[in-house]
C-alpha cells in the first residue's frame, strides 16, 4: 500500500526519563525511529527483512528541541518521507504533545547489502520505492 507519511502515538514511560524527570534526549531519536518503523508497516513493508541481507543504517541525523516531555505525557510523532534518492531515504519528523512542538528533526538512512562483507550501499528495492514514494516533497 503506498504511503509517505504516518502519525505514531505514544506515551512516555518512566524508563524514558532522566534524573530531572524529563525524557532523555536519546529517547527522542528512538521515538523518531519507532515512527519510521510504523510508517513502513503501514506501507506493507519491514525495515528489517527476515533474510537479513538488506539493511538501512542511519547516515545523518538532526534534531532541534523546543519543549520537554515528562513521564505519562501522551504525544504524537508525525513522520514523512521527505526525499528518496537511488540509495537513501530522508525522513522529516515532528514530535508534538497536543499543540506543543517538542522536537523536529530529520533522519537519513542508506540502503545497504549487509552480506557478503563488507557492507555496501545498494539501490533501494523497487517494492520499497513503490510503497514509500507517493507525495514525496522533494
Torsion angles phi and psi, residue 29, rounded to 5: -65, -40
Run of H or E including 31? helix 25-42
* Residue from 18, 51, 99, 137 carrying the catalytic annotation: 18
Read out DSSP for 33-88? HHHHHHHHHHTT--SS-TT--EE--EEEEEEEE-S--BTT-EEEEEEEEEEE-SSE
Q: Give the whole-angstrom CA distance, residue 81 versus residue 31.
A: 16
Q: Would residue 73 show up in a list of annotated catalytic residues for this protein?
A: no
The catalytic residues are 18
Amino acid at each position: 500500500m503506498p504511503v509517505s507519511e504516518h502519525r505514531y502515538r505514544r506515551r512516555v514511560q518512566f524508563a524514558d526519563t532522566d534524573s530531572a524527570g524529563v525524557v532523555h534526549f536519546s529517547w527522542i531519536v528512538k521515538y523518531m525511529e519507532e515512527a519510521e518503523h510504523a510508517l513502513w508497516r503501514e506501507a506493507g513493508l519491514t525495515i528489517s527483512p527476515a533474510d537479513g541481507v538488506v539493511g538501512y543504517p542511519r547516515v545523518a541525523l538532526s534534531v532541534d528541541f523546543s519543549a520537554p516531555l515528562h513521564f505519562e505525557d501522551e504525544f504524537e510523532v508525525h513522520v514523512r518521507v521527505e526525499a528518496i534518492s537511488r540509495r537513501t531515504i530522508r525522513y522529516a519528523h515532528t514530535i508534538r504533545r497536543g499543540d506543543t512542538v517538542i522536537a523536529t528533526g530529520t533522519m537519513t538512512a542508506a540502503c545497504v547489502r549487509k552480506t557478503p562483507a563488507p557492507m555496501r550501499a545498494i539501490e533501494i528495492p523497487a517494492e520499497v520505492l513503490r510503497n514509500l514514494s507517493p507525495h514525496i516533497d522533494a
